[in-house]
Amino acid sequence: MSEHLIQIKNLEKHFKLKKSIFSKVKIVRAVDNVSFSIPKNTTYAVVGESGSGKTTLGRTLLKLIEPTGGEVFIRGVNIFNLNNKEFMEYRRKMQIVFQDPYNSLHPKKLVKTIIGEGMKIHFKGIREEEIRKRIKDVLEQVGLREEHMFRYPHEFSGGQRQRIAFARAIVLNPEFIVLDEPTSALDVSVQAMVLKMLKETKKDADLTYLFITHDLSIVDYLADYVAVLYLGQIVEKGKKDDVFNKTAHPYTKLLLNSNPIPDPFLQRDKIIAKGEIPSPINPPSGCRFHTRCPYVQDICKTKEPEERKIEQGHIVKCHFPLI
């Protein structure tokens, strides 16, 4: 569809694990047959816990990790089919912001170099004044000042570092930014500031976001669409309001319920799942959630569920959806 900026089809990333020369090769299906489409200028959230594959998904999308299968289309062009030279142009259009503010900026480089290096790589022959001007513009856009470009990362707080990381991401005028848990390591008040900055900049700079997180309150605040990942597969996806208010998958319901609410007056029934999150090395048979599902039935243990359409744009992968 033409209004979709990004289309992901059957994306797959399998890792081979070999413990020793004598053991058999095990395959970890970190990202297993994931498909969804991101409309332009929206925020698409991907939620999951450990082993869900959300981090791998973000990186595989940008080819920071080589995919083992599937296709990613940007405005109709399959970027996995491009050669290195053609792909460079798309590199510029897709950027990423990482979770760890203390390790995502090179400790021995000036902020100016950190932000400006991308420009030197993509715009050969660009003049120093142009670089400085552009850096000044993005720094101001994220709420920092021009003189900050002459400082080192260690002189900044966690929240400021994430703003610098975001400035680095937008300096090349990208269209699409993957935000990999950008606020998980930040204090609450700092997180609010960064989230607001992300929201405002999206409008101003005509961006599309893929927001990876485990925190559903942030999804509620920022996202237009959401996909819920469990052990490498999408179990539910759709418009945020639909997924939150007409929850179809038991795991989504569990996630929503487990989210601690900062409101002592709110009474709700607690759903506590039993058991641990299985390891992606040895996922359960049939429906991968069956070991913890409160509604599990026999067929769930043996047969992998198909995708069902609840309504337009709202898909769930379950034998007995809640809706």
Ranges within 242-261 binding another protein (CB under 8 A): 244, 254-261
Considering only residues 91 to 110 of the shown chain, the ones binding another protein according to CB under 8 A are 91-92, 95-96, 98-100, 103-110
CA angle 221, 222, 223 (to 5 degrees): 115
The smaller minimum CB distance to another protein, of residues 240 and 317, is found at: 240
Binding mask 261-290 for another protein (x = CB under 8 A): xxxxx----x-xx--xx-------------
Q: How far is the CB of 118 from another protein (least distance, A)?
A: 4
**Whole-angstrom distance, CA of residue 246 vs CA of residue 64:** 35
Q: How far is the CB of 1 from another protein (least distance, A)?
A: 27
Q: List the one residue from 220, 224, 241, 307 that touches another protein (CB under 8 A).
A: 220
* CB atoms closer than 10 angstroms to residue 169: 24
The smaller minimum CB distance to another protein, of residues 35 and 146, is found at: 146
Residue that the structure tokens 């700079």 belong to:
205
CA angle 48, 49, 51 (to 5 degrees): 105
131: contact with another protein by CB under 8 A = no
Residue that the structure tokens 């850096």 belong to:
135
Binding mask 180-199 for another protein (x = CB under 8 A): -------xxxxxxx-xx---
Q: How far is the CB of 221 from another protein (least distance, A)?
A: 4
Exposure letters 189-214 (e unless 16+ CB within 10 A, then b): ebbebbbebbeebbeeeebbbbbbbb
The smaller minimum CB distance to another protein, of residues 9 and 122, is found at: 122
How many residues touch another protein (CB under 8 A)? 77
- Identify each DSSP E strand in 231-317 by its residue range: 233-239, 307-311, 314-317
